[in-house]
Structure 1
């Protein structure tokens, strides 16, 4: 086998590995998107599953491409964040107000002020709850590492 053929074979297998890793990453994002609110979930689905471009999604939504691009970037940042992943594991074991605050903050990306307004809690109390959840997420990651 000539050097050129070996190089091509290596490139083909390397590309296949990268494509497989990329597909796995996308599938992970799609699975995580189930925790998002309906509109963000639809955007992820249209882009990754149905193959729409951000321009096409923006046109469907009646938004500018730039606005859709910013929103999509925020969605992806949230889906990739360690806090989102950590809260995905913890939220089923939480109850009441903590679960609701966490869901709004980590899954939907709602601001602390808006959560306080929607739930009737003080901003201070919402911050306390989020800090407690972050502590639990951090502890769960530390326990995993040990």
Structure 2
């Protein structure tokens, strides 16, 4: 039973890290927004997947004003990374994992672009000739 709990916790930790990795890749996510997301995912419960936090608690933990925390949290919601409901003890914030594959596709696309650029680089260097090389070729 203990091994099963450890495996489940390890799986949840891996899932949270993957979520953070994908949020960090999203070009629309600003640094402060990522920091708020980081704080939220740190508090997400393994059993429910929900973090119960207030903007003030996030502010205390990040050093970002409560007004800015609200704006960053709203941005995460609009970008499809979280959703929330209001509860008695604060916001019940749920990280959403549905965008993770989209960001993985985006990462793979960026990698393919770099590979093409690497393959094209020797051709570009080869086609660029210096004026000195042109003079030697005509003699």
Tell me the TM-score normalised to structure 1 length. Answer: 0.36
Which has the higher Rg, Structure 1 or Structure 2? 2
- The higher-RCO structure (CA 8 Å, 6+ apart) is 2
- Give the strand-richer structure, 1 or 2: 2
Tell me the TM-score normalised to structure 2 length. Answer: 0.38
- Give the helix-richer structure, 1 or 2: 1
